[in-house]
Amino acid sequence: MDAFALPPAIDAALAGFLRTLGTLEGWLASPWLGLAWLGYVLVLAAWIIRQRREPVATLAWLLALAWLPVLGWAVYWWLGPQRIHRRKLKRLRARLALAAARLPPCGDPSEEGQERMIEAATGHAPTRATAIDLLTGGERTFDALFEAIEAARESVHLEYYIYEPDSVGTRLRDLLAERARAGVQVRLLIDGLGSRRCSPRFLQPLREAGAEVAWFHPLKLGHVLWRPTLNLRTHRKIAVIDGRTGFTGGVNISDTQSERASAAAFHDLHLRMEGEVVRALQLAFAEDWHYATGRTFSEAMHWPPLPIGDVRCQLVPSGPDNPLAPIHRVHVEALHNAKRRVWLMTPYFVPDAAVLLALTSAALSGLDVRLLVPRRNDNRLVRAAARSFYPELLDAGVRVFEFQPRMLHGKALLVDDEIALIGSANVDPRSFWLNFELSVLARDARVAARLAARISEDLEQSKEVPRGWQPSGLQAYTDSAARLLAPLL
Lowest mean pLDDT, pick from 194-208, 209-223, 460-474: 209-223
Q: Give the C-alpha separation, 319 to 229, whole Å.
A: 13
The band of 10, judged by pLDDT with boundaries at 50, 70 and 90, is low
Strands (E), 219-331: 238-241, 245-249, 269-274, 311-318
Query: pLDDT tens digits, residue range 121-172?
Result: 998 999 999 999 999 999 999 999 999 999 999 999 999 999 999 999 999 9
The 10 Å CB-count burial string (b at 16+, else e) for 290-321 is bbbbeebbeeeebbeebeebebbbbbbbbbbb
Q: What does the domain layout of the chain look like in residue ranges?
A: 31-82, 90-110+130-308, 326-488
Instruction: Measure the CA–CA gap between 429 and 408, rounded to whole angstroms.
Output: 19
- Please name which of 292, 291, 268 lies closest in space to residue 213, comparing C-alpha atoms: 292
Between CA 351 and CA 202 the distance in angstroms is 38
C-alpha span between 138 and 266 (Å, rounded): 8
Please give the average per-residue pLDDT across 91-107, as a whole number: 69
Measured from the Cβ of residue 212, the count of other Cβ atoms closer than 10 Å reads 17
Is 395 part of the annotated catalytic residue set?
Answer: no
Amino acid occupying residue 82: Q
Model confidence at 220, pLDDT cuts 50, 70, 90, reads low
Least confident of 126-135, 270-279, 480-489: 480-489
Q: Catalytic residue, from 217, 267, 409, 479: name it.
A: 409
State the catalytic residue, choosing from 321, 411, 444, 458.
411
Give the number of other Cβ atoms within 10 Å of residue 403's Cβ. Answer: 23
Over residues 115-121, the mean pLDDT reads 93
Question: What is the C-alpha to C-alpha distance for residues 351 and 432, in angstroms, rounded to an integer?
Answer: 10
pLDDT for res 420? 98
Q: Give the mean pLDDT of the chain.
A: 85
Q: CA angle, 432 as apex, 426 and 436 as ends, to 5°?
A: 90
255 vs 459: CA distance, rounded Å: 25
Active site residue 416: yes
- Is it the case that residue 70 has pLDDT exceeding 50? yes
Return the H-helix or E-strand segment holding 278: helix 277-293
Instruction: Give the torsion through C-alpha atoms of 221, 226, 227, 230, to 10 deg.
Output: 60
Catalytic residue among 124, 191, 242, 331: 242
Q: Which CATH superfamily is domain 90-110+130-308 in?
A: Endonuclease Chain A (3.30.870.10)
pLDDT tens, residue by residue, 312-342: 999 999 998 888 999 999 999 999 999 999 9
For residue 88, indicate whether it is catalytic.
no
First to last CA, the chain: 64
The per-residue pLDDT for 113 is 85
Per-residue model confidence as pLDDT tens digits over 445-457: 999 999 999 999 9
409 labelled catalytic: yes
The stretches of 50-68 forming alpha helices (DSSP H) are 55-67
pLDDT at 107: 80
Residues in the chain: 489
User: Cα separation of 156 and 241, whole Å?
Assistant: 5
Active-site choice (108, 133, 368, 416) = 416
- Identity of residue 12: A
pTM over 0.75: yes
Give, for 414, the enclosing helix (H) or strand (E): strand 412-415
Q: In this predicted model, what pLDDT tens digit does every residue of 397-413 receive, in sequence order?
A: 999 999 999 999 999 99
Task: List CB contacts of 391: < 8 A, sequence separation 6 or more.
Answer: 469, 470, 471
Residue 458 appears among annotated catalytic residues = no
How far apart are alpha carbons 18 and 21 in whole angstroms?
A: 5
- Smallest CA-to-CA distance from 233 within 14, 87, 93, 45 is with 87
User: Does 90-110+130-308 match 326-488 in CATH topology?
Assistant: yes
Q: Which residue has the higher pLDDT, 37 or 409?
A: 409
CA distances from 381 to 76, 153, 193, 321, 363 (A): 21, 45, 20, 27, 27
Catalytic residue among 124, 157, 217, 237: 237
Which position among 157, 235, 328, 331 bears the catalytic label? 235
CA–CA distance, 350 with 484 (Å, rounded to integer): 11
CATH superfamily of 326-488: Endonuclease Chain A (3.30.870.10)
What pLDDT sits at residue 229?
57
**Which is nearest to 431 in space by CA: 280, 335, 316, 270?**
316
